[in-house]
A and B are shown apart, each in its own frame.
Chain A
Amino acid sequence: MQTETHAGADLNLDTLLSLYRGMLSIRKIEEALVRLYQLGHIPGACHTYIGQEAIATGVCAHLRQDDVVFSTHRGHGHAVAKGVPPEEVIGELLGRMTGCSRGRGGSMHLFSPEVGLMGTTGIVGPNLLQSTGAALSFQLLRLDRVSVCFFGDGAVNNGAFHEAINMAAIWDLPVLFVCENNMYATEVPFAYATRNTDVVARAASYGVASQDVDGNDVVAVFNASAQAVDHVRGGRGPYLVECRTYRTRPHAEGMRDVGYRTQDEVSQWKQRDPIAALRTALYNDAMATEEQLSAIEERVTATVDAARETAESSPFPDPSTATSHIFSE
């Protein structure tokens, strides 16, 4: 399979450039985090989103600030796409006060309810159930808000997926399930852990509308999510989008692929980079000039550099706060 992004099909240039900017921001932040990790400045886990940027970007482009996103352990991209400022993401991984949780949580515990980020999570599964609960509240309160849950193929084999999608289906809840099928859970292949690797088939078996897309093609993700969000916000019940994708770095920084993934496969997927694909399409379709694209790249790089500097110069939290926030104060 080859990722071919058709830029001109039906999106205007502003939208395309904004998708480009969005994906690039995530990439540059992740690259900064990788470097910080390698320098030993990130004291904990760091699961990067590199290779999957088209998904968060394409989905969140359709969300309002008051829509909510429930993310995963691989959640930096979701946080950025939902509007968490880069210095709050980087600062959290550095354990600093600029972090969106003031350094208390780190990579897997980014919370920013003010922009609708209901948390990245260190545990696989709960996000599916809680996003369904958020959707239930929107329905009960007669709000036209949408609840979005991102999750990996690994989570699909967990009971939480089945429990959540079934409940959402019964009550036509406004929840969008976005499966980022990168074919591996840590290192176990989805095809090893399940007989039927079509996640859309599972949605169908619960009576939930769905479609699958090339998760490395941001235009395809954008278009599929447009339909999906429309469906969900319009009160027609839950929807599942399965995005076929790949993470081009190991499961987490500091880990190597020692299991089923081959270097060959990783290199092939690097050729299908979603950001490069859009850039090529914009350029080939003569929609954007080299100058326009480079200008975006420079601006994104400058923003991320500044965010990193802000985060790095931010103080660590006061140790005495370690025992606060156990109960409402």
Chain B
Amino acid sequence: MATKLLIEAIRDGLAEAMDQDERVMIIGEDVGRRGGVFRVTEGLMDTYGEMRVVDSPLAESLIVGVAIGAAANGMLPVAEIQFLDFIPPAMDQLMSEAAKLRYRSNGDWDCPIVIRTPYGGGIHGALYHSQSIEAVFTHIPGLKVVAPIDPADAKGLLTSAIYDPDPVIFLEHKKGYRSIRGEVPDNGHTVPIGKARIAREGSDLTIISYGMYLQESLAAADAYVEEHGGSIEVIDLRSLKPLDSDAILESVMKTGKALIVHEANMFGGIGGEIAAIIAEHAFAYLDGPVTRLASPDVPAMPFSPPLEQAFVRDKNDIRAAIEKLAAF
């Protein structure tokens, strides 16, 4: 075990997979010589060569399309899209091709691709470098979506994603790259896709979150408990699709109160799905309304600091939501 930054854990996961399996390859814009704009893939081209770490032309549909073709013919490609905001040009490849390959071939074809991509705000990226549009992907049957924030989870989920026979969107919170640190096991560590993690145990209220807003939720839970006492459970979803309904329901049946917190906007988001699952399966256990705290339904994060601040939900907002729900 060693303490690592989120970005280092992801890089380790990539290097370990490339070391152990020649089928693993990387393709993306600037992933090679530069090592990616965030430097996640730094040094990998030197070690594994320019055919396995491909500096691609500027074309996202190319990156994903080529990854699909390679995956269906023996490779285990890890494609990087420089920012989640640049995925839309590759949407046809993801939504119409990768997601449907297995189903339409009646199970004949695997599509073991991973699309790694930084997402999320808080680094003043403005409209096209800050988005959290994960719900677009969780809506599509045939795609798996993970969003680990703990470094060990990131490494373990990356390994699982690389060897998963189906397409996985692997979301990396860019603000977490160099701000989140944790113990990471050395070799062969995997975390199953589709399993949540209890990030903080408690019995009075459940917060369900992921990504950087999980960090804010933990801070808010600490602050609330310090002032008011009581006990709050925080679930880190880690995987958004498949969603770990069992973990969510088990916790909510215990606490009777659910607060769902995410950075993506509210309407049609993961929070709505979770709320529906709770309403359908744990209605009788609820002691308060299932509550969502999410970003406002505006097209993208605005640039100017006060506007950005108005968009962002932080630990104070979460704490206020806890107070309201706890008092219900």
Contacts and interface: CB of A to CB of B under 8 A. Distances in A.
Contacts of B144: none
A30 to B, nearest CB: 19
B190 to A, nearest CB: 32
A112 to B, nearest CB: 16
Given A44-B124, A157-B57, A323-B298, A103 B34 contact: no
B298 A45 contact: no
Contacts of B55: 188, 192-193
B297 interface: yes
Contact of B128 (A102, A103, A122): A122
Interface hub of B29, B30, B57, B296 (most chain A Cβ within 10 A): B57
A174 interface: no
Given A105-B126, A192-B55, A159 B306 contact: no
Contacts of A321: 307
A318 B304 CA distance: 10
A122 B127 contact: yes
A103 B124 CA distance: 12
A326 B85 contact: no
A237 interface: no
Interface size class of B (residues with CB under 8 A): 35 or more
Contact of B304 (A106, A160, A193): A106
Contacts of A99: 304
Given A108-B128, A122-B126, A193-B57, A316 B30 contact: no
Nearest to B123: A44
Interface in B281-300: 296-299
B296 A322 contact: yes
A125 interface: yes
A255 B30 CA distance: 13
Given A109-B127, A122-B126, A159-B61, A186 B306 contact: no
A320 B307 CA distance: 8
B143 to A, nearest CB: 22
Contacts of A155: 58
B305 A259 contact: no
B77 interface: no
Interface string A291-314: 000000000000000000000000
B302 A322 contact: yes
B259 to A, nearest CB: 22
A188 B32 CA distance: 9
B58 A43 contact: no
Nearest to B89: A125
B208 to A, nearest CB: 25
Interface string B81-103: 00001100100000000000000
Nearest to B128: A122
A274 to B, nearest CB: 25
Contacts of A160: 89
Interface string A175-218: 00000000001111000111000000000000000000000000
Interface in A95-133: 95-96, 99, 102-109, 121-125
Contact of B124 (A43, A192, A194, A259): A43
Given A192-B55, A258-B34, A326-B299, A316 B126 contact: no
A317 B299 CA distance: 18
B175 interface: no
B307 A186 contact: no
B187 interface: no
Contact of A123 (B29, B37, B85, B307): B85
B58 A157 contact: yes
B297 A326 contact: yes
Interface in B1-57: 29-30, 32-35, 37, 55-57
Contact of A103 (B33, B296, B307): B307
Interface hub of B29, B59, B86 (most chain A Cβ within 10 A): B59
A161 to B, nearest CB: 10
A95 B57 CA distance: 32
B238 interface: no
A202 to B, nearest CB: 13
A121 B126 CA distance: 11
B310 interface: yes
A154 interface: yes
B306 A105 contact: no
A319 B308 CA distance: 8
Given A45-B125, A95-B305, A109-B126, A259 B59 contact: no
Interface string B242-281: 0000000000000000000000000000000000000000
A36 B311 CA distance: 25
A104 B304 contact: yes
A157 B302 CA distance: 29
A260 B303 CA distance: 31
A158 interface: yes
Given A258-B34, A259-B32, 8 more contacts: A45-B126, A102-B304, A104-B303, A105-B127, A106-B126, A185-B29, A193-B57, A255-B37
12 contacts: A103-B303, A104-B303, A104-B304, A106-B304, A188-B32, A188-B55, A194-B57, A258-B33, A317-B304, A318-B306, A319-B309, A323-B310
Interface of B: 29-30, 32-35, 37, 55-59, 61, 85-86, 89, 124-129, 296-299, 302-307, 309-311
